[in-house]
Amino acid sequence: MPKRDWSEARRKVEREGRCRACAKPHNLDAAHIVPRSRIHGPPAQDPRNIIPLCREHHDAQHRGELELLPLLTREEQVYIVGLVGIEEARRRTIKA
């Protein structure tokens, strides 16, 4: 199996340089909007499936405590809906 190329996703995080939730400029992770376990292949590392989050907000995302929808660009929203459909996109981006 070929090694995944995360360079574009990582560049996106470096280019933005701040957490989308709190604007902290350090300890940034390349957080997946739709987890890698849900999708396979190139879509998993597509930069439109990645947002920069600090460790604190990335952990909150995994616990389901962070609403992602307000943090996403229109392009990211459209990509995620196309990737997993409207219902799952809603479930993944809106805090219950």
Q: What is the pLDDT of residues 45-94, one digit of tens each?
A: 789 999 999 999 999 999 999 999 999 999 999 999 998 889 988 888 88
2 domain-assigned? no
Residue 1 has pLDDT above 60, yes or no: no
43 domain-assigned? yes
For residues 93 and 80, the answer to whether their CB atoms sit within 8 Å is yes
Amino acid in the structure at residue 75:
E
56 domain-assigned? yes
82 domain-assigned? yes
37 domain-assigned? yes
Residue carrying structure tokens 């952990």:
59
Distance CA 94, CA 58 (A): 15
Report pTM: 0.86
* H-helix segments, 41-85: 42-45, 55-62, 74-84
Which residues constitute the domain of residue 50?
7-93
User: What domain count does the chain have?
Assistant: 1
Q: Which residue would you say has higher pLDDT here, 96 or 23?
A: 23
Distance CA 31, CA 16 (A): 13
